[in-house]
Amino acid sequence: MTYAARATLTRGKSVPTSPAVWVPGADPPFDHVQKWVINSAVAGDMAHVIDGYLHSGRQDQLLEHIPLDAYRGVRPTWWPDGNDMWESSPNNTHDTEFWASVCTSACIRDHLDTVNVVLVDLLSSDASCSCYAWEDTSGVDHNASHSAPSDVQLMDWMHGSIRIVDPLAAPSTHAKLATYAVHKRVGHAHYMETLQSTVYISRVYSNNIYFDLDVSPSMTANALYTPNNFEDCLYQCYKELSLRTRSIIWTPAYSGADGAPHTATCHCMDEDMAQSSYGHRWRNHRSDKPDYPVAYSTRLCTNVRASDERSIVYSKRTDGFCPGVPIYTGFTLTSHSLLTVAAAGADEHAVPFDVRCRKLCLDDAECGMAHLYASTFAYQCAWGGRTFDPRAHILIFAHPHCACRPWFAVI
Mean pLDDT of the chain: 77
Please state, as a whole number, how many other Cβ atoms lie within 10 Å of the Cβ of residue 311: 21
Is pLDDT at 217 greater than 50 in this prediction?
no
Confidence tier at 312 by pLDDT (50, 70, 90)? confident
Contacts of 168 (CB under 8 A, 6+ apart): none
Q: Rounded distance, CA 336 to CA 401, Å? A: 14
Confidence tier at 257 by pLDDT (50, 70, 90)? low
Mean pLDDT for the stretch of residues 315-329: 84
Q: How many CA atoms lie within 13 A of 340 on its CB side?
A: 21
Helix, strand, coil abundance in the chain, percent, nearest 5: 20, 35, 45
Residue 223: the pLDDT is 60
Is pLDDT at 317 greater than 80 in this prediction?
yes
Exposed e or buried b per residue across 87-98, where buried means at least 16 C-beta atoms within 10 angstroms of its C-beta? eeeebbeeebbb
37, 101, 216 from 43: Cα distances, Å: 12, 10, 28
Identify the H or E element spanning 154: helix 151-157
- Give residue-wise pLDDT tens across range 378-408: 444 433 333 333 333 344 444 433 322 223 3
- Give residue-wise pLDDT tens across range 267-285: 888 888 888 888 888 887 7
Is pLDDT at 243 greater than 80 in this prediction?
no
Q: Parallel, antiparallel, or unpaired: how do β-strands 188-192 and 197-203 relate?
A: antiparallel
Residue 177: the pLDDT is 92
275: DSSP letter: S
Residue 378: the pLDDT is 47
Exposed e or buried b per residue across 193-228, where buried means at least 16 C-beta atoms within 10 angstroms of its C-beta? eebebbbbbbbbbeeebbbbeeeeeebeeebeeebe
Residue 404: the pLDDT is 27
> Is the CB of residue 17 less than 8 Å from the CB of residue 39?
no
| % of the chain with per-residue pLDDT over 70 | 74
> Is the CB of residue 313 less than 8 Å from the CB of residue 321?
yes
Sign of torsion over alpha carbons 265, 269, 273, 274:
positive
